[in-house]
Amino acid sequence: MFASEEIMSFKSYQNRANLFVKEYLLADSLIPYISVISGMLACKMVYELTQLIGSNYFKIYSSFSKFQRIEWNNRAISTVHAIFITTVSLYMVFCSNLFSDYQSTELITERSSSLSTFALGVSVGYFIADLGTILWFFPSLGGYEYVIHHLFSLVAVAYSMLSGEGQLYTFMVLISETTTPGINLRWYLDVAGMKKSKAYLINGVVIFISWLVARILLFIYMFYHVYLHFDKVEQMHTFGRILVIVVPLVLSVMNLVWFAKIIKGLRKTLAKRQ
């Protein structure tokens, strides 16, 4: 009898908890705010966890300067975010029916879902946290190019999250985050004194290929997609149209500049091995 009452009490509590999550935490109007806060809290959690693991399992961590430790932790955050948002973006763009031309009569530039909005909100939380860290320790963690990149990304992703407009193109651009883990791994190999290792060389080749695909070719595909659906883009709000065209253009220029540096660095590395 007592066990039966306990089970019923637990089920009643479970139903109330599910109702709370469904009607409050996952309510469409609250998803943007819950997701942004979740993204910022996740950044804090990864930072603390990385610091704990680094100090206990990596001897080199204790020899770092204050700013090197901060950058070590910060790069772990950007790596986790990159894996998360790249996975979601690839699913949304290439696997989900949300943006399929044949699944909905709704304008492709106005489609969104709870999942897509939540994912963008997590990304907004990351960009806020990372931009704040960069500015706080400026210019130790990155110069003006990083500030410009994060500002453009933050504004574009936040607008898409809040308005629901242009989410397809936002996810296309966010796929470019797939290059971040490789860039961060290169920094880790560098500070570990492994610049002459085979892993460092392989890393450089992987960065070159991933950058070419995710930040050059994919952007060309995105601009072509915008061209094909420009009649839909024209129906967006003015600010949304500006973001869909201007932000990718600015990021494309920055990607080309960084790509030139990657090619130069890879050539230098290969020359040393000959």
Over the stretch 248-273, which tens digit does the pLDDT of each residue have?
999 999 999 999 999 998 898 888 77
Confidence of residue 7 (pLDDT cuts 50, 70, 90): low
Kindly write down the DSSP assignment for every residue of 109-134, as one continuous string: GG---HHHHHHHHHHHHHHHHHHHHH
Q: In this structure, are residues 129 and 123 in contact, taking their beta carbons and an 8 Å threshold? A: no
What digits encode the pLDDT tens for the residues 188-233? Answer: 999 999 988 999 999 999 999 999 999 999 999 999 999 999 999 9
> What pLDDT was estimated at residue 146?
92
Q: Say how many C-beta atoms besides its own lie within 10 A of residue 250's C-beta.
A: 14
pTM above 0.85, yes or no: yes
Pairwise CA distance, residues 149 & 152, whole Å: 5
What digits encode the pLDDT tens for the residues 79-131? Answer: 999 999 999 999 999 999 999 877 777 899 999 999 999 999 999 999 999 99
Confidence of residue 27 (pLDDT cuts 50, 70, 90): low
Q: In this structure, are residues 120 and 139 in contact, taking their beta carbons and an 8 Å threshold? A: no
Pairwise CA distance, residues 43 & 46, whole Å: 5
- Tokens standing for residue 238: 């003015």
Integer angstrom CA distances of residue 145 from 135, 139, 154, 192, 260: 12, 11, 14, 26, 15
Q: In this structure, are residues 174 and 89 in contact, taking their beta carbons and an 8 Å threshold? A: yes
> What pLDDT was estimated at residue 3?
55
Pairwise CA distance, residues 149 & 225, whole Å: 23
CA dihedral 160, 161, 167, 171 (to 10 degrees): 110
> What pLDDT was estimated at residue 22?
46
Q: In this structure, are residues 172 and 94 in contact, taking their beta carbons and an 8 Å threshold? A: no
The structure tokens 């990657």 sit at 262
Pairwise CA distance, residues 182 & 202, whole Å: 10
**Under 8 Å CB-to-CB from 240, ≥6 apart: which residues?**
109, 159, 160, 163, 165, 166
In sign, the C-alpha dihedral spanning 215, 217, 218, 221 is positive
Pairwise CA distance, residues 126 & 256, whole Å: 24
Q: Is the confidence at residue 16, as pLDDT, over 70?
A: no
For the chain, the C-alpha Rg in angstroms (whole number) is 22
Q: Say how many C-beta atoms besides its own lie within 10 A of residue 211's C-beta.
A: 21
